[in-house]
Amino acid sequence: MGSRKIRLNKYIALSGVCSRRKADGYIIGGKVKVNGQVVIEPGFTVSDKDKVTVENKLIKPEELVYIRYYKPAGYITTSDDEKGRKTIYDILPDEVKHLKPVGRLDKDSTGLLILTNDGDFINELAHPSVKVPKVYRVAAQGKLNQQDLKLMENGIEIEKGQMAYAYSQIVEFEGKNTILEMVLYQGLNRQIRKMLEILGHPVISLKRYSIGPVDIQGLKRGQFKYIKPKQVKEIKAYIKKLMKNASK
């Protein structure tokens, strides 16, 4: 964090004690001290030079980490599964197992995941109002046509009252199958698979290539790379721009 000042509730959240909302409760309840003095204002600002305690326990924010990860097939995107299925945390290196994914990919899908311990970043990037474009390469059974693409663009009801949209183009026909590039601005569960199933063209394979300005270029399947601070700054500026546009 350096000597940069941040709000006290965010400082507490970054330490991993609790969420920012719960931090407000600790602060207002008089359970937080800065340099030995009780502070009851959530908006109070602190730096890494300050000594902050919550219920008399000294805390320190975690270093924020961001990675790109090329998820292989056969693993679900969660830290724990009650059905005993394999998760990405079974194969991620120990140094990044504390990070959480921004969104998910289902078990059979491959491609880009962004993982981080920056809760604000996760919330902003995944928020439905921000509409971050996600690009997929999809192989589907049978030969789709322009009418199919138009139907997906106009919206398909994949569950009762739940409309799903996708902007697609046909890349090529591979034998009897179709290779598509699909762009989503939503994050509905198994959205692409459900849309194409309804159209009578079940998915054969699905790979996510990018989330906003972040892609899997230079990554091998199962590999991760740290996102550099300069890139993180650019991504955050990109998200801020989308948020600004969404509020207009």
Residues in the chain: 248
Both tokens assigned to 70 = 């090329």
Q: Do β-strands 134-140 and 203-211 pair in parallel, antiparallel, or remain unpaired?
A: antiparallel
Q: Which residues contact 147 (CB under 8 A, 6 or more apart)?
A: none
DSSP per residue over 21-36, as a string? HHHHHHHHTT-EEETT
Alpha-carbon span 230 to 248, nearest angstrom: 28
C-beta of residue 45 within 8 angstroms of C-beta of residue 8: yes
Catalytic residue among 48, 81, 106, 108: 106
Alpha-carbon span 178 to 172, nearest angstrom: 6
Q: Is 81 a catalytic residue?
A: no
Alpha-carbon span 160 to 164, nearest angstrom: 11
Any idea which residues carry the catalytic annotation? 106
